[in-house]
């Protein structure tokens, strides 16, 4: 198995499951601490993508202090089924604004994109995060 990262690749002698997390920090962000995180997940056996989205939504509501859903809608990214959630919550009393996309990939794999803006909504930064997330294109198989 060839495993690629931006800096190069390695040859793994057996199949491995990629559980890496990518963290991107914009150099010229208006808001210090803005980030875009890409994480990988898998649908549990017997769970549909719709069920996964419901479970994630319930997790956010129960685990994030001051959780407020701003937008919640199905969609597509690069032709793949996706679900978009925009939310606000607080950590240590400080506001966080997030834009998220969960994208169903092959073999029940899911890519989770989370753009975070510490301090709350800043429209230009939010729009840049949404543009980055929705520009994603899957590599050719």
CATH of the domain at 105: 3.40.1000.10
Look at residue 120 in the predicted model and tell me its pLDDT. 92
- The answer to whether position 90 is within a domain reads yes
Look at residue 141 in the predicted model and tell me its pLDDT. 64
Structure tokens at 105: 């990939």
Structure tokens at 88: 């606000």
Backbone φ and ψ for 16, nearest 5 degrees, come out as -125, 155
Domain count, the chain: 1
- The answer to whether position 1 is within a domain reads no
pLDDT in tens, 11-48: 877 777 778 899 999 888 888 999 999 999 999 999 99
- The answer to whether position 141 is within a domain reads no
Range of the domain at 93: 19-134
pLDDT in tens, 75-123: 999 999 999 999 999 999 999 999 999 999 987 899 999 999 999 999 9
- The answer to whether position 111 is within a domain reads yes
């Amino acid at each position: 198995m060839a495993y690629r990262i931006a800096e190069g690749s390695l040859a793994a002698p057996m199949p491995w499951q990629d559980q890496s997390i990518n963290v991107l920090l914009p150099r010229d962000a208006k808001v210090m601490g803005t980030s875009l995180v890409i994480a990988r997940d898998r649908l549990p056996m017997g769970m549909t993508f719709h069920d996964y989205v419901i479970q994630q939504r319930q997790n956010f509501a129960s685990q994030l202090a001051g959780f407020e859903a701003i937008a919640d809608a199905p969609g597509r990214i690069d032709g793949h089924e996706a679900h978009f959630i925009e939310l606000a919550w607080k950590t240590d009393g400080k506001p966080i604004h997030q834009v998220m996309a969960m994208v169903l990939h092959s073999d029940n794999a899911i890519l989770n994109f989370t753009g975070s803006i510490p301090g709350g909504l800043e429209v230009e930064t939010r729009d840049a995060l949404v543009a980055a997330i929705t520009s994603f294109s899957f590599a050719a198989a």
